């Protein structure tokens, strides 16, 4: 097993290379905003600007600027601000609509929407963090208005442009929704445990509580599985939809719930998250034949209908790295560090591009690069830098706590 | 190269095995309609009934009953009729709506719709062929009403539940729409060249003409590429969307246009289809490294953003087999038979399941089975039996014309 100190160095230097890739290739100084469709060398192959990716990159740059001393460079904050201004100006579908576009043309005209409210959530986290980094309350106020829209929707307010409902379609909750609610709420409540203000924003605290409790409804069959879709009351749904599992989402839920339970002092919740959302998904989600985490599985062992089910995607491996270090901080069991070493070794070996920076996103089941692109409609400047900065910070705390011997 | 007579025997015996798979596993005698979510052994893993799959299976059973003597079994027609009745009763979204559901519960309640009008098109072809097989005009009249709805939509009538339009989204035409229009129209105009009634139904003839001419708009760059999405005027669209190519759709367009041009005596159109829609896509769509047709490609050689772009799907290979025999019937160049032998050999080797019948649908780029299922939301009783029955018929005609020596 590689020493933790060596991992911290490797993670930090990879973070530098990854951020450099995005700074070098994704900015649009003419029209603002960020390109995300980048080839493996960093060339723009499509100039569509995806709102998820704008909000996420604003968040990454702002968080790096605010919390990682070597990234406190004015040009990084300026790039984040340019992204935030682009979002404020072009993302909303209209002055009276809380909904934002999913994709924009290079010059900011709306191309299409999504039925789900995830674009709004990424706008909220990006603007809130920009407000903190820049010290400008107006960004945080704008972010909060989208967070409150999300609170309204999870409470049941009708979602403009949402999916039509039919009698044969049972109401369902996708795990992504509580994960988004928890991500937004924890961001607005402080971003990291040291700066929380408990009770400071009851509405946002309600959003966090809804997210945490709604996420738990996806733990089924005595916590032995995590189902991607359940009824709003937490019952299993029939068919492939009801049996679908997504190891990456389960592991992301793991570290989000560990953070929530730590902040709130809910020890039992933390213990449950460790077992059902970290140890569990790493076991059932791992490909025993070729290594790596599957994209999707069926809880009863049927073949999933998603064509990419057995592909190895970059982000579940990064969620696993974060979840395992968060688990070790919660309960210092060396098994978590051994698993971190195994997952991080697989991820660095398979996804990393030492030549051009940033990771490949999509491998075949066997672990070969299947899509040579570095960014696209759903992959931008987010999972790699977010996970690396979180891992660097956690590895630093662990090393500090345990002394330099490890 | 395998002799044509041997191919005819192989194709015919495979058709028998495939139809037996669906007759054995997909019927629902209790509630009507067909299951399509079947495991590799034929077990139902999800009982959702997809409207595409209902219309397609009704078509396959009815066409086999009507045109292939060994399938003229009353139970096959009865199964088709049960499927048709299920569609008439449950597919429409309402008494005043021309739109039908995309998916139904086992007992026929609507689950969801699609924005595009392909479900309606498959209902039209299924009911028209059922009406011919059963000798019951009411099925054909119902099929025609959906064909006329499709004609209205391609003429520009607003599509209820269609996609919202935004200022940054250029109007676009997907190749699937002219292919559907041509499929529906050629079905209603006779189904095969021997029974055409030219001028017999001017509105449906207009639908065929629209389909043929609209399909040609996708031939770009001097006919060297076939683009999946173009402007309604036939101009290239920007970005990945505009550069997307789908070899299977191009080859399907090939045999559909050969049929249209043959029926109408438009020789120049047939020649153009041979080059741009048969020879071309077989060359640029074939994987030189592992064999087989790619699912998607980018016309400028960028990496497509579709995660499955390099996977080998069953249906493009079947469209290629049909297109190559249709090409040979159009112009008896032995190159087409050599290519048929190459594609059919790949397809029979890789997709066929000699144990349980019906083909696997989804292989990795390397040609290994990636999804073990035999049917799902988008794969049912359609492409394999349709192509095999068309190939058996064409091989029979070719052998008859050329004598038994080949």
Contacts of A311 in chain B (CB under 8 A): 307
Q: Sign of the CA dihedral A292, A295, A299, A300? A: negative
CB pair distance less than 8 Å for B166 and A113: yes
B45 with A304: Cβ contact below 8 A: no
Cross-chain Cβ contact B370/A307 below 8 Å = yes
Q: Who among A40, A168, A238 is closest to B104 (CB)?
A: A168
In the structure, what pLDDT confidence band is assigned to residue B350 with cuts at 50, 70 and 90? very high
Tell me the pLDDT of chain A averaged across its residues. Answer: 95
Specify whether the CB–CB gap between B358 and B26 falls below 8 A. no
Q: Three-state SS string across A270-333, please? A: HHHHHHHHHHHHHHHCECCCCCCECCCEECCCCCCCCCCCCCEEHHHHHHHHHHHHHHHHHCCC
Compute the distance between CA of residue B390 and CA of residue B130 in angstroms, rounded to an integer: 18
Q: Using a CB-CB distance cutoff of 8 angstroms, which residues of chain A are in contact with residue B92? A: none
Q: What is the pLDDT of residues B35-57, one digit of tens each?
A: 999 999 999 999 999 999 999 99
Name every residue whose Cβ is closer than 8 Å to that of residue A40 and which is 6 or more positions away in sequence.
A353, A356, A360, A372, A373, A374, B303
> Strands, DSSP E only, in A120-249?
173-174, 219-220, 225-226, 229-230, 244-245
At B292 the pLDDT is 98
Q: When comparing pLDDT for B228 and B406, which is higher?
A: B228
> Cβ of B173: how many Cβ atoms within 10 Å?
20
Question: pLDDT tens across B262-310, in order?
Answer: 999 999 999 999 999 999 999 999 999 999 999 999 999 999 999 999 9
The enclosing H or E element of A370 equals strand A369-371
- Give me the mean pLDDT over the A182-202 stretch: 76
| Contact yes or no for A39 and B303 at CB 8 A | yes
Closest C-alpha to B63, from B192, B204, B176: B192
Tokens at residue B21, please? 């798979």
Of the residues B159, B298, B307, the best mutation for testing chain A's interface (the one with the most A CB atoms within 10 Å of its CB) is B307
Instruction: For residue A310, give both structure tokens.
Output: 């057995």
Q: Report the DSSP pairing between strands B369-371 and B362-363.
A: antiparallel
Q: Which of B23-32, B50-59, B111-120, B160-169 has the lowest mean pLDDT?
A: B160-169
Cβ contacts below 8 Å, chain A against chain B, sum to 124
Q: Which residues on B lie below 8 Å from A302 (Cβ)?
A: 39, 45, 373
When CB atoms are compared, the residue of B103, B163, B307 closest to A307 is B307
pLDDT > 70 fraction of chain A, expressed in percent and rounded: 97
Neighbours of B400 (CB within 10 A): 9
Contact A177, A214 (CB under 8 A): yes
pLDDT top residue among B194 and A326: A326
Strand A225-226 and strand A219-220: the pairing is antiparallel
CA distance to partner chain A, nearest, from residue B34 (Å): 16
**Element of type H or E holding B129:** helix B118-134
A214-233, pLDDT tens digit by residue? 999 999 999 999 999 999 99
Within 10 angstroms of residue A315's Cβ, the number of other Cβ atoms is 23
Q: Name the pLDDT band for B125 (thresholds 50, 70, 90).
A: very high
Q: DSSP label at B72?
A: -
With contacts defined as CB-CB under 8 Å, which chain B residues touch A309?
Answer: 371
Contact A168 B305 (CB under 8 A): no
Q: Return all residues near B1 (Cβ < 8 A) that are at least 6 apart.
A: B337, B338, B341
- Quick one: which H or E segment has residue B400? helix B383-402
User: Considering chain B, what percentage of its residues have pLDDT values greater than 70?
Assistant: 97
Q: How far apart are CA B43 and CA A90, in angstroms?
A: 50
Name the DSSP letter for residue A27: B
Those residues with Cβ within 8 angstroms of residue A170's Cβ, 6 or more apart along the chain or in another chain: A231, A237
Distance CA(B313)–CA(B361), nearest Å, equals: 6
**Are B307 and A169 inside 8 Å of each other by CB?**
no
Q: What is the pLDDT of residue A158?
A: 87
User: Is the per-residue pLDDT at A52 higher than 80?
Assistant: yes
Q: How confident is the model at residue B406 (pLDDT cuts 50, 70, 90)?
A: very low
Distance of CA B122 to the CA centre of its chain: 10
Residue where the block lists tokens 């569609």: B87
Structure tokens at A270: 């933390």
pLDDT over 60 at B196, yes or no: no
Contacts of B47 in chain A (CB under 8 A): 238-239
What's the first-to-final CA gap in chain B, in angstroms?
11
pLDDT at residue B404 tops 60: no
Q: Do A47 and B239 touch (CB under 8 A)?
A: yes
Q: In terms of pTM, does the model score above 0.90?
A: yes
Distances from the Cα of A60 to the Cα of A15, A27, A38, A71, B241, angstroms: 11, 14, 18, 11, 28
B99 φψ region: left (φ > 0), alpha (ψ -120 to 50), beta (else): beta
Do A370 and B105 lie within an 8 Å CB cutoff? no
Question: Searching chain B, which residue's CA lies closest to the CA of residue A161?
Answer: B164
Q: Which residue has the higher pLDDT, B142 or A158?
A: B142
- What is the rounded average pLDDT of the residues A317-328? 98
pLDDT of A2 strictly over 80 = no
- φ, ψ of residue B314 to 5 degrees: the values are -60, -45
Q: Which residues of B touch A239 (CB under 8 A)?
A: 37, 46-48
Query: From CA A393, how far away is CA A191, in angstroms rounded?
Result: 13
**With 90 as the cut, is the pLDDT of residue B195 above it?**
no
- The residue behind tokens 């990879």 is A14
Q: Per-residue DSSP letters for A222-279?
A: TTTEE-SEE-TTS-BPSHHHHHEE-HHHHHHHHHHHHHHHHHHT-HHHHHHHIIIIII
Q: Residue A219: what are its φ and ψ, rounded to 5°?
A: -85, 120
Nearest to A375 by CA among A104, A126, A49, A107: A49
Q: What is the rounded distance in angstroms from the CA atom of residue A304 to the CA atom of residue A300?
A: 10
Q: How far is B37 from chain A (nearest CA, A)?
A: 9
Q: What angle do CA B242, B245, B251 make, to 5 degrees?
A: 140
Give the number of other CB atoms < 10 A from CB of residue A287: 17
- Residues A164/B161, Cβ–Cβ less than 8 Å: yes
Residue A164 has pLDDT above 80, yes or no: no
pLDDT at B159: 84
Per-residue pLDDT at A192 exceeds 80? no
3-class SS at B164?
A: coil
- CB contact (8 A) between residue B113 and residue A166: yes
Helix (H) or strand (E) holding B229: strand B229-230
Cβ–Cβ under 8 Å, residues A116 and A178: no
Q: Are strands B244-245 and B229-230 parallel, antiparallel or unpaired?
A: unpaired
With cut-offs at 50, 70 and 90, classify the pLDDT of residue A406: very low
Count of CA atoms in the C-beta half-sphere (13 A) of B104: 28
Q: Which residues pair with A229 in a beta bridge?
A: A174
H/E element, B207: helix B202-216
Element (H, E) at A59: helix A51-67
Indicate whether B405 pLDDT > 60. no
What is the per-residue burial (b if ≥16 Cβ within 10 Å, else e) of A73-109?
Answer: eeebbebbbbbbebbeebbbbeeeebbbbbbbbbebe
Angle at A188 between CA A186 and CA A191, to 5 degrees: 55
pLDDT digits (tens, 9 = 90+) for A255-285: 999 999 999 999 999 999 999 999 999 999 9
- Judge whether A370 and B307 are in contact, CB under 8 Å: yes
Cα–Cα distance for residue pair A62/B194, rounded to 1 Å: 70
Give the model's pLDDT for residue B21.
Answer: 98
Q: What is the ipTM of this complex?
A: 0.94
B204 vs B185: CA distance, rounded Å: 6
Task: Tell me the torsion sign for CA atoms A372, A373, A379, A384.
Answer: positive
Q: Which residues of A touch B48 (CB under 8 A)?
A: 239
Phi–psi pair at B369, nearest 5 degrees: -65, 120
Minimal Cβ distance to B169: which of A40, A112, A238: A112
């Amino acid at each position: 097993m590689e020493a933790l100190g060596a991992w911290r160095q490797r993670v930090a230097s990879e973070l530098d290379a990854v951020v450099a890739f995005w700074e070098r290739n994704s900015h649009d100084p003419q029209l603002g905003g960020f390109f995300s469709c980048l080839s493996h060398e960093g060339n723009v192959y499509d100039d569509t600007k995806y709102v998820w990716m704008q909000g996420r990159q604003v968040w990454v740059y702002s968080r790096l600027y605010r919390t990682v001393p070597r990234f406190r460079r004015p040009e990084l904050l300026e790039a984040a601000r340019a992204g935030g201004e682009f979002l404020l100006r072009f993302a909303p579908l209209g002055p009276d609509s809380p909904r934002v576009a999913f994709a924009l043309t290079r010059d900011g005209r709306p191309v299409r929407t999504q039925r789900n409210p995830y674009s709004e959530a990424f706008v909220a986290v990006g603007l809130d963090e920009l407000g903190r980094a820049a010290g400008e309350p107006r960004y945080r106020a704008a972010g909060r208005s989208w967070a409150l829209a999300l609170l309204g929707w999870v409470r049941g307010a009708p979602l403009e442009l949402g999916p039509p409902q039919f009698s044969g379609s049972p109401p369902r909750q996708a795990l992504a929704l509580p994960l988004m609610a928890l991500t937004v709420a924890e961001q607005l409540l402080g971003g990291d445990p040291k700066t929380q203000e408990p009770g400071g924003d009851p509405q946002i605290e309600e959003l966090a509580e809804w997210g945490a409790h709604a996420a738990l409804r996806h733990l089924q069959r005595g916590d032995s599985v995590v189902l991607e879709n359940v009824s709003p009351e937490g019952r299993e749904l029939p068919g492939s939809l009801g049996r679908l599992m997504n190891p990456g989402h389960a592991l992301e839920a793991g570290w989000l719930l560990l953070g929530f339970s730590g902040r709130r002092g809910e020890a039992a919740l933390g213990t449950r998250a460790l077992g059902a959302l970290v140890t569990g998904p790493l076991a059932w989600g791992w490909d025993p034949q070729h290594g790596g985490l599957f994209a999707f599985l069926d809880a009863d062992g049927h073949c999933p209908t998603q064509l990419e089910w057995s592909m190895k995607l970059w982000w579940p491996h990064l969620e696993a790295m974060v979840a395992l270090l968060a688990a070790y901080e919660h309960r210092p069991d060396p098994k978590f560090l051994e698993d971190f070493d195994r997952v991080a070794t697989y991820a660095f070996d398979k996804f990393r591009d030492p030549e051009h920076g940033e990771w490949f996103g999509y491998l075949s089941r066997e672990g070969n690069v299947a899509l040579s692109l570095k960014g696209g409609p759903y992959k931008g400047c987010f999972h790699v830098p977010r996970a690396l900065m979180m891992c660097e910070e956690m590895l630093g705390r662990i090393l500090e706590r345990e002394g330099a011997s490890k």
